[in-house]
Chains A and B, each alone.
Chain A
Amino acid sequence: EVQLLESGGGLVQPGGSLRLSCAASGFTFSSYAMSWVRQAPGKGLEWVSAISGSGGSTYYADSVKGRFTISRDNSKNTLYLQMNSLRAEDTAVYYCAKDHNPWRVQGVGYDYWGQGTLVTVSS
């Protein structure tokens, strides 16, 4: 059974940093691109970042480029999102998501999602 378990969310002041983790199980982690998708309170879904299965290719939304860094440790089956220079508008539930197809560098969409972790940026 595929499972994705996010952790690391919490309350942080504007300008602060936070690192999210997503522990994956139930599939060959290194074969799949992974993404982070966020949802601000009462708002729609926003794609944040994606990483290829090998970790060699990374992609970012313009809204987070230069502030967030996605990475993965395939030996630990874990996906990360390092978030720096956080702003109030980064407040959201952050989901990690597994790509639908293996071996696609950028990815094609998500067949499994974690339960989400809430990040609140406020003073």
Chain B
Amino acid sequence: DQQVKQNSPSLSVQEGRISILNCDYTNSMFDYFLWYKKYPAEGPTFLISISSIKDKNEDGRFTVFLNKSAKHLSLHIVPSQPGDSAVYFCAARQIQGAQKLVFGQGTRLTINP
């Protein structure tokens, strides 16, 4: 049972435009949501997070939106840059227990010049 889903395996965006990555979840007990970025042959790196009591969090070019009623979150990157080309993982934390994260399958973002 996939509790966190990223239904788009890949996304291609032109440099300078907006990239929108989507994530859906099924477990109402998640209290925190995160996005990680991963380059080839490296470990994932933390990008941005949002608490379940908020609907938006912004950090520079990156904004995460949370729609609790739809159990959906999205990551917006504006403007997209070539260095943003990577795999992006959505993750969610359950309220109980050791800050374990449940990850989505990942979306490979390619920024074209």
Partners in one complex: no
Name A residues whose Cβ lies closer than 8 Å to a Cβ of B. none
